[in-house]
Structure 1
Amino acid sequence: MIEAASLTKRYGKTLAVEDLSFSVTPGTVTGFLGPNGAGKSTTMRMILGLDNPTSGDVRIGGKRYGELRHPLRTVGALLDAKWVHPNRSARAHLTWMARSNQIPARRVDEVLEAVGLSGVANRRAGGFSLGMSQRLGLAAALLGDPEVLLFDEPVNGLDPEGILWIRRFMHRLADEGRTVFVSSHLLSEMALTATELVVIGRGKLIAQSSTDEFVARASGETVRVRSAAPDVLAKALRAEGAELTESEDALLVSGMDSTRIGEVALANSVALSELSPERGSLEQAFMHITGDSVEYHAGSGPVMAESASDIPDPLTTAAK
C-alpha cells in the first residue's frame, strides 16, 4: 500500500506538489493522471525516495523508501525504459541488479521469460527498440517479486499486441494482490486498465475515486430514448424537469435516469423501443475536470512546470 500525506515539494520558487494526500491500495490497478506539469513525476520520485518532500510524508507498507533494507524486494519501478548501460546485455543488466539486492540468480531468467525477452537475453540493450526496452524495464521492476509496483508510461513504444499484453499483465499483478500504480497519458488505455484513479492538477489532488465514478461525476449521464410518439414523450419529460436534445430518430435525455423515464412513458401511454444509458469517455471527463490545470495553453506561456533537475532512475538508487 502507498500512503501519501500532505506532500509538498518546492524547487526554488516553483511549487511542484502542494499538500497532496492519497492512498493506493493492493489488489487494484490505480491510474495516476494529470496534465503535463501537474506534478506526477515529482510525486513518483518522492515515493521512491529520489526527492525529499519539502513537507509531508509518503510511505510504502508503512515505511519510507529509505527505510527499506532491500528495496527491490518491496518496490519495483519503471520510470525510464532507456535507463540501462547500452553495452550490457539484458541478462547482465538484471544479474547486476539481482546481486545488489541479494535476489536469487534464478529470478533473472524467470522475469526475462515473463516479459518475453528470453530469446534476446544476451543481446546488448543499446540495440533494443523502445518496446523491447519497456519490457526490460518491466523485468527489472519485477526482479525482486515486489508487492508494490510503479510504472510511468509503461506502454510507450509498444504495438497494439504489446499494449494488450501489458494491460492483461497489470491486471494479473493486481489479481495477485499487489499494489499497482500507473501513470499514463493514454486515457483510452487507462479506461481499460485502471479500476481506480488518482487525478492531480497543478500539484493538487483533483479527485480520487473509481474510474466509473470519475467518468459519471465529470461527464454526467444521458439516456438515449426512442419511441413511436417522441413529441408526446418529450413534452412529458420536460414537464418533469428533464433536459432533452434531439438526435436523428432519438431523444437524448439528461437529468433523469432510465427508471424514471420509463415511468413517465408508462404514465403517458408511450411505448418505448429503446432506453439506453450513455456515458462520456474517460478522456472527456479528464478534459472537463482538468481543463484549468494544464501546463500550456494556446497563446500563453507555461502555467507551471516540474523541476528540470537531472534525477536518476529509482533502480539506480535501489541498486546502490
Structure 2
Amino acid sequence: MIEASDLTKRYGPTVAVDDLSFVVKPGRVTGFLGPNGAGKSTTMRMILGLDRPTGGQVLIDGRRYGELEHPLRTVGALLDARWAHPNRSARSHLRWLARSNQLPRSRVDEVLDLVGLSSVADKRAGGFSLGMSQRLGIAGALLGDPQVLLFDEPVNGLDPEGILWIRQLMQGLAAEGRTVLVSSHLLSEMALTASDLVVIGRGRLIAQASTAEFVDAAAGQSILVRSPRSDRLSVLLTANGASVVADPGDGPPALLVTGVTAEQIGDTAAANGIALHELSPRRGSLEEAFMQITGDDVEYASGSGNGRHRNENNPVGATS
C-alpha cells in the first residue's frame, strides 16, 4: 500500500505538489492521471525517495522508502526507460541491479524471459528501440519480485501487441495482491487497465475514485434511443424533464437522453404507441470525464480558453 499524507513539494516560489493526500491499495491497478505539469512525476519521485518533500510524507507499507533495507524487494519502479547505461548489455544492467540488492543472478534470466528480451539480452542497451527500453525498465522493476510497483508512461514506444502485454501484466500483478500505480496520458488504455484512479491538477488532488465512479460522476451516463418516431418521442421526453440531443455517432439517427431512466423512456413510448428499435445505456468515456474534470487545471490551454470548468461539488472526491 502507498499512503501519501499532506504531501507538498516547493521549488523556490513554485509549488509542484500541494498538500496532496491519497491511498493506493493492493490488489488494484490505480491510474495516476493529470494534465502536463500537474505534479505526477514529482509525486512519484517523492514516493521513491528521489525528491525530498517540503512537507508531509509518503509511506510504502508503513515505511518511508529510505527506511527499506533492500528497496527492490519491496518496490519496483519504471520512471525513465532510457536510464540504463548505453554501453551495458541488458543482462549486465540487470545483474548490476541484482547485486545491489543481494538478489540471485538466476532472477535476471527469469525477468528477461518474462519481458521478452532473452534473445537480445547480451546486446547494448544503447541500441534498443524505445519499446525494448521500456521492456528492460519493466524487467528492472520486477527484478526483486516486489509487492509495490510504480510505472510512469509504461506503454510509450510499444506496439499494439506490447500495449496488450503490459496491460495484462499489470492486471495480473494486481490480481496477485500487489499494489500497482501507473501514470499515463493514454486515457483510452487507462480506461481498459485501471480499476481505480487518482487524478491531480496543479499539484492538488481533484478526485480519487474507481474508474467507473469517476466517469459516471464527471461525464455522466446517457441512454441511446432509436425509434421511427424519434421527433415525437423527443418532444414527450423533454416535456417530462429529460435532456435530449441527437446522437453524433455514425449509425442510424438516434437520440441521446439524460435526466430520465430507461424504464421511464420505455413507459413514455408505450403510453403513446411509439415503437422503440433500441434502448441502451451509454456511459461517457474516461477521456470525456478527464477533460471535464481537469479543464481548469491544464498548464497550457489552446486558444483563448477551453470552455470547461471543474465542478467544485464534484462527488468523486474533489478537494480543491
Fold conserved between structures, TM > 0.5: yes
Distance 1:103 1:154, change over 3 A: same
Return the structure number with greater relative CO, CA threshold 8 A, min gap 6: 1
Cross-structure match for 1:316: none
Q: Is 1:258 the equivalent of 2:224?
A: no
Q: Pick from 270, 273, 278: which aligns with 1:274? A: 278
Offset, 1:218:
1.1
Partner of 2:124: 124
Give, in whole Å, the separation in 1 of the partners of 2:188 and 2:93.
33
Distance 1:276 1:31 in 2: 28
Does the C-alpha gap of structure 1 residues 249 and 158 become closer, same or farther in structure 2, counting only changes over 3 Å? closer
SS in 1 for 2:36: coil
Gaps (5+ residues) in structure 1? 301-320
Report the counterpart of residue 39 of structure 1 in structure 2.
39
Q: Does 1:293 align with 2:297?
A: yes
Give me the whole-angstrom Cα distance separating, in 2, the residues matched to 1:180 and 1:205.
Answer: 19
- Opposite residue 193 of structure 1, the aligned amino acid is T
Aligned partner of residue 223 in structure 2, secondary structure: strand
Distance 1:28 1:51 in 2: 26
Correspondence for 1:226? 226
1:104 aligns with 2:104: yes
Distance 1:244 1:298 in 2: 29
How far does residue 299 in structure 1 lie from its aligned partner after superposition? Answer: 5.9
Q: Deviations over 1:180-222 (max 9, x none)?
A: 1000011111111111110000000011111111111111121
The whole-number CA distance in structure 1 between the counterparts of 2:291 and 2:187 is 10
2:317 matched to which residue of 1?
none
Q: Could you say what secondary structure the match of 2:279 adopts?
A: strand
> Which letter does structure 1 place at the counterpart of 2:301?
H
Q: What is the deviation of 1:243?
A: 1.1
| Cα pair 1:236 1:268 within 8 Å, conserved | no
Q: 2: distance between equivalents of 1:125 and 1:9? A: 33
Decide whether aligned partners of structure 1 residues 228 and 157 sit closer, same or farther in structure 2, where only a CA change above 3 A counts: closer
Counterpart of 2:197 in 1: which secondary structure? Answer: strand
Q: What percent identity do the matched residue pairs reach?
A: 72
1:210 maps to 2:210: yes
Counterpart of 2:272, as a letter, is N
Equivalence for 1:283: 287
Q: 1:40-63: CA deviations, max 9, x gaps?
A: 011001100111111111100011
Q: How far has the Cα of 1:249 moved from its partner?
A: 3.1
SS in 2 for 1:82: coil
Residues 137-148 of structure 1 aligned to structure 2 (within 5 Å) = 137-148=137-148
SS, match of residue 56 in structure 1: strand
Give the 5 Å matches for 1:60-71: 60-71=60-71
Q: Secondary structure at the match of 1:188?
A: helix
Unaligned runs of at least 5 residues, structure 2:
305-320
**What amino acid is aligned across from residue 4 of structure 2 in structure 1?**
A
Aligned to 1:149: 149
Instruction: Normalising by structure 1, report the TM-score.
Output: 0.90
SS at match of 2:278: strand
The offset of 1:245, in angstroms, is: 1.6
1:264, distance to aligned residue in structure 2 (A)? 2.5
Distance 2:17 2:224 in 1: 41
**Map of 2:50 onto structure 1:** 50
C-alpha offsets along residues 238-271 of structure 1, whole Å, 9 cap, x if unaligned? 2221011234632221111212222332333433
Q: Which amino acid aligns with 1:195?
A: S
Residue 76 and residue 243 in structure 1: after superposition, are their counterparts in 2 closer, same or farther (change >3 A)? Answer: same
> In the alignment, which residue of structure 1 is the partner of 2:4?
4
The answer for the alignment partner of 2:309 in structure 1 is none
Partner AA of 2:182 in structure 1:
V
TM-score between both structures, scaled by the size of structure 2: 0.90
Amino acid aligned to 2:31: G
| Residue in structure 2 matched with residue 318 of structure 1 by the alignment | none
Does structure 2 retain, via aligned residues, the 8 Å contact 1:115–1:138?
yes
Counterpart Cα distance in 1 of 2:264 and 2:4: 42
Kindly state the Cα deviation for residue 281 of structure 1 after the two structures are TM-superposed.
1.4
Secondary structure (helix, strand or coil) at the match of 1:272 reads coil
